[in-house]
Structure 1
Amino acid sequence: MRGRRALSFALSLLIAAPASGAAPPPRAAEAPCPTHGIAMHGAPALPSDFHHFPYAEPGANKGGKLRVGLAGTFDSLNPFNLKSGTAAQGLVGNVFQSLMARSQDEPFTLYGLIARSIDVDPARSQVTFHLDPRARFSDGKPITAEDVLFSFDLLKTKGRPQQRIAYGLVKSIDAPDAHTVHYDLSGVGDRELPLILAIMPVLPKHATDVERFSEATLAKPVGSGPYVIADAQVGARLLLRRNEDYWGADLPSQRGFYNFDEIDIQYFRDGNSLFEAFKAGLLDYRDETSTTRWASGYDFPALADGRVVKETLKNENPKGMEGFVFNTRRPLFKDIRLREALGMMFDFEWVNANLYAGLYTRTKSFFDESELSSSGRPASAGERALLAPFPGAVRDDILEGRWRPPVNDGSGRDREMAKRALDLLESAGYRIENGVLRKDDEPVAFEIMVKDRNQERLALNYAGSLQRIGVDARVRLVDEVQYQRRRQKFDFDMMLGQWIASASPGNEQRMRWGSSSANQEASFNLAGAASPAIDALIAALLAATSHDDFITAVRAYDRVLLSGFYVVPLFHASDQWLAHSTDIARPARLPRYASPMFGPTLESWWRQR
């Protein structure tokens, strides 16, 4: 049972009297004075009197409509439950907002939003949020501590897996008054947890259907953000309209953002249709992910006459991992030698030259192109100390920074690489019999699940390479809804996974690679990894108190993930490619760590006319 002070809102939301037996909140002398922000390491970069985020334009024009297109579909307006994989995009931030707002110009720093200030002790075992009395939901109801406690309870029991795990660490929560919420985190030892609690969405207790919260729903939600939902057509369209009474428009963390009167989000099941809509001027913005299109597809009239422009942008954020992931819950993929050998058969050099115009870079780390990457760096003494309790968890070549993904000759039929793979397989007890790779009379056969034609093309190429060493890899294309449901239930042999990296990896790593998430439905632990070394290093990066200790822990963690050969690394674009109508504009200053550079609804952009 949680210690909690009862809230009494009967007398015009006056301070509540303590409930009998409830633990009192910390005395003022036990905690520092409230501060305007919190950083994962060190202090916030911006002073308490900052005017706006560096990458926002507070003088931006307000008005007009933004038209954006997204691939896929949706069947729900609730992005916080287990069915959130099929929820509409564009709700978080626009409709729903959290206690504090994240700056994309720092690795992980939060500033005031619904909570105007925060108290945290040096050990981060006690955290108190002070709510802004001006905060309101879109229906005009005030946001109080009661809504925060309600949201915490609801998401802890019915929210997404990462929320359930993180909130489950909290020892107790109480509300001393209508605008104060205190969390007791004593004994947890997780320095990121106060920040995780700070980015919790605040839901309205008076307008949330608890009984049906776990279901997909198209009921228009009540939020506290700058937009409300004007229209929602399942799988086709979401129309957001500015809330003229948005309470937070002049907060420093909000100035210069949310500049459009309406945001029209259109969904396309087919990528070609999405591109054609952009070419025809029906959409204002496009993130380009196709190298073929980027290299040769932008020759339409609107680009030639200046109505559309292309941009290539780059910031400092690490490049994450994307690759074919082995579901190690399947007995076939338990053998790490099999996983490594199958990974050798992905011919990046041929694929990049023939399918992607040579524009991609092979990914060699889960935090590539950043100081967090272990690639090319011998392990430091600090890393070796962290890894010492887990002998064999990291291979020697990875420990020494020498390992790279295998390099093929680019012919598409590299005999030397196939020989290396077969030699490794032979050492693990596999043999080719009548053209079929077998072990203990069982053939090596599995399915690669994909969700679109681009994934299918890549998977078919990889399956063809695997066939050269006797592996039967069948490619199966499924629709988006089926894909997400099978992913959430881990009902696949192999699929394409993506692990977006941030400059401050933290609690989300538990949901991606931690043992506790290996069999938790809808987690992002696609591989089913369950390793004491991984768990210990996630704990180490969360416990780091300095930037140097943090880097040490993340690099050691990177080495353990690479040594597990859970993924066949693919590739990444070092730059972000985008095209947009010249009717819309963005700040010249880019966010240093955003990935992607802009959200799906271009929060920092505006319409010029």
Structure 2
Amino acid sequence: MYGEPALPQDFEALPYANPEAPIGGSLVEATVGSFDSLNPWVRKGNVPWQLRYVIGESLMGRTLDEPFTLYGVLAESIEVGPNRDWVEFTLNPAAEFQDGSPVTVEDVIWSFETLGTEGHGRYAGFWSQVESIEETGERSVRLTFSEENPELPLLAGLRPILKKAQWEGVDFAETGGTDIVPIVSSPYIIGDFEPGRYLELERNPDYWGWDIPFRRGTYNLDSYRIEFFGDETAAFEAFKTGEVTFTREFNVARWESNYDFPRVESGEVTKETFTHSRPSGMTGFVMNTRREPFEDWRVRQAMIELWNFEFINETMTGAQQPRITSYFSNSPLGMTPGTPAEGTVAELLEPFAEELYPGALEGYALPVSDGTERNRPGVARALELMEEAGYTVQDGVMTGPDGEPFSFEILTQTGVTEQQAMVDIFEQAVEGIGIDVSVEQADSAQFTERTQEYEFDMTYYRVGLSLSPGNEQYLYFGSEQAETGGRNAMGVASPAVDAMIDELLNAESQDNFYAAAKALDRALMAGRYVIPIYQWNNTYIAYNAELAHPDRIPLFGDWPGWLPDVWWSEAAAAE
């Protein structure tokens, strides 16, 4: 995107991979929830989140060290138009699916068209900017774009390529089940599985691309197995007994107090902590602005005041994890909380000054409570805001301008105990000012369906953001996604936000790109859509001692593309 790739054309392997890694062994990871589908490319069904990162090979691959650089995978070579208005890929002649059939231009064209029109909503935005796709040679295909967007050639390189013949005669959009096991060209293929219980991905020894630079030293484990559990407690117990061999910990207090069981003390388990340099993204409880209680920013700010982060953080983590202060915390893309917009950032936002929420230009920062359970200053400020929004407390009940009591529901996922513990503390604070709040738990399938269809008042929310934010920002925050169902959980429909995403995509320099990201960050934070919780700038992982990874941790750290990709088993080396 900017400048030149860090790796030369004849690079041997990714710098955080080990081309000498032994082959064999297995890794077992736990996931809380369930699954009923093996098709990660459609909206229907509940799919293991890991699946779309491990199967469904693309023309190019993203390196975890360079946010805006891709390297060839299915594509042997790439040519881009002088104004980035088209991109042409030439397929590697060796590329084939797991059944031995070649990956063809016909498969590529069908995949782009089908995913763009019948696939998951994440693919529709890109396809709407494609003017044409055509075969230009026996192994080459060209996409011409209808809009000026310098990121489009990169996005084209990341679309999964599927086997056309497998999906003929079926309604692709309705294949969100387990009857059809995808035939893929990737190093791992789907092996044994039982819906809701486990899924095993197996290394394909006949994979076509073991010798391409992007793949050397990757997918060394013979088996990557995902076990599903009803709650976090059961998942952790499975790790303690050895049924699960890898786990991530997201709570510092638990990391310091719960990892002293026999397998750790005997040396069977390795504990590891390291940092990463990717943005925090946004994690917290999102408010659905499509619904009347939360369409008013003052009500949303009142909820943020009542959250009492300092007390919750002390209770949950011993106050050891910093709060998320922006969508791009922990990166150069994030705004500086509480400071006014300056320079290019201010110039980008100024045309929208009348519509932006208070603080976008002047500076917005999350409230800091006194740390006590009662949080008197926060409660007082929340009451002031509710009054400004037309609400009054009558006989102990928060009553709206229409004379009706103010009530709302918080949707949580069954088995995620940390979410529930935080909500319990928040619930008491909200009820303390006369608001009737109910908490409903849903299993993973129901939770996914309801959040995707925007059927909630407030719910747990997580959006991961990278150092190369681009077109996917439309999916998360774009006006077109506000009512269609998908990832825009808060329902933001803001011309200012849309314009900042446009600026992000069309930035002609890295400085302008940073400014657009900071401006977008300001517009979103001032919108008060989410009650942020803590960020995870440190990674805490524990795993069986025979498992290993290269010492060099990539810029993105523990991110899709790192595990299981560059891991191996020392036990396999000893065999």
Query: Where on the TM-score scale, by shorter chain, does this alignment land: which range?
Result: over 0.9
In the alignment, structure 1 residue 205 sits paired with structure 2 residue 164? yes
Tell me if structure 1 keeps the 8 A contact 2:353–2:361.
no
Specify the alignment match of 1:9 in structure 2: none
State the alpha-carbon separation in 1 of the partners of residues 436 and 2 from structure 2. Answer: 48
Kept in 1, the 8 Å contact 2:286–2:460? The answer is: yes
- DSSP-derived class of the 1:362 partner: coil
Does the 8 Å contact 2:57/2:160 carry over to 1? yes
> 2:150 is matched by which residue type in structure 1?
R
> Aligned partners of 2:384, 2:245: CA distance in 1, in Å?
53
Task: Report how far residue 210 of structure 1 moved.
Answer: 5.5
Hey, what's the Cα distance between the residues in 1 that align with 2:533 and 2:134? Answer: 47
Asked if 1:387 corresponds to 2:349, the answer is yes
CA distance in 2, matches of 1:91, 1:209: 22
Correspondent of 2:285 among 315, 324, 335? 324
TM-score by length of 2: 0.95
Name the CA shift for 1:425/1:93 in 2 (closer, same or farther; >3 Å).
Answer: closer
Partner of 1:8: none
Q: How does 1:371-450 map to 2 (within 5 A)?
A: 371-376=332-337, 378-394=340-356, 397-401=359-363, 403-440=364-401, 441-450=403-412
Post-superposition, which runs of at least 4 consecutive aligned residues in structure 1 deviate over 6 A?
none
- Matched AA of 1:257: T
2:428 to 435, 443, 464: 464
Partner of 2:92: 132
Aligned to 1:550: 513
Equivalent pair of 2:358/2:526 in contact (CA under 8 Å):
no
Counterpart of 2:7?
A: 46
Listed as ranges, the gaps of 5+ residues in structure 1 are 1-39
Change in CA separation of 1:506 and 1:212 when aligned onto 2, cut-off 3 Å: same
Taking the aligned partners of 1:458 and 1:94, their CA distance within structure 2 comes to 33
Change over 3 Å in CA distance of 1:598–1:183 after alignment to 2: closer
Aligned partner of residue 29 in structure 2, secondary structure:
strand
- Whether the aligned pair in 1 keeps the contact of 2:482 and 2:488 (CA below 8 Å) is yes
CA distance in 1, matches of 2:501, 2:322: 27
- Report the equivalent of 1:91: 51
Under a length normalisation based on structure 1, what TM-score does the superposition of the two structures give? 0.90
Q: Is the 8 A contact 1:161 1:520 kept in 2?
A: no
1:395 shift after superposition: 5.4
Secondary structure at the counterpart of residue 592 of structure 1: coil
Q: CA deviation at 1:72?
A: 1.2
- Contact 2:32–2:231 under 8 Å retained in 1: yes
Output the CA distance in 1 between the equivalents of 2:442 and 2:49: 21
Tell me the amino acid that sits aligned with residue 270 of structure 1: D
> What residue number does 2:492 align with?
529
Deviation digits for residues 113-138 of structure 1, max 9, x if unmatched?
A: 00122111232111111111110000
8 A Cα contact 2:276 2:537, kept in partner: no
Contact 2:163 2:184 (C-alpha < 8 Å) held by counterparts: yes
Q: 2:55, 2:188 within 8 Å by CA — same for their partners in 1? A: yes
Where 1:129 maps in the other structure, the secondary structure is strand
Shift of 1:553: 0.4
CA 1:392–1:567: 2 relative to 1, 3 Å: farther
- Shift of the alpha carbon at 1:483? 0.6
The 1:397–1:94 alpha-carbon spacing in structure 2 relative to 1, beyond 3 Å, is closer
Do 1:220 and 1:229's aligned partners in 2 also have CA atoms closer than 8 Å? Answer: yes
Distance in 1 between residues matched to 2:449 and 2:75, nearest whole Å: 35
Which AA in structure 1 matches 2:114? L
* Cα shift at 1:291: 3.5
SS of residue paired to 1:171? strand
1:238 matched to 2:202? The reply is no
Match of 1:294 in 2: 255
1:7-156 matches, within 5 Å, as 40-83=1-44, 86-156=46-116
1:270-305 CA-to-partner distances (Å, cap 9, x unmatched) read: 211111111111222111123342121011111112
Once residues 472 and 559 of structure 2 are traced to their aligned partners in structure 1, the CA distance between those partners, rounded to angstroms, is 20
Match of 1:514 in 2: 478
Deviation at 1:601, TM superposition (A): 4.7
1:500 to 443, 464, 473: 464
- The one-letter amino acid of 2:484's match is Q
CA distance in 1, matches of 2:168, 2:428: 50
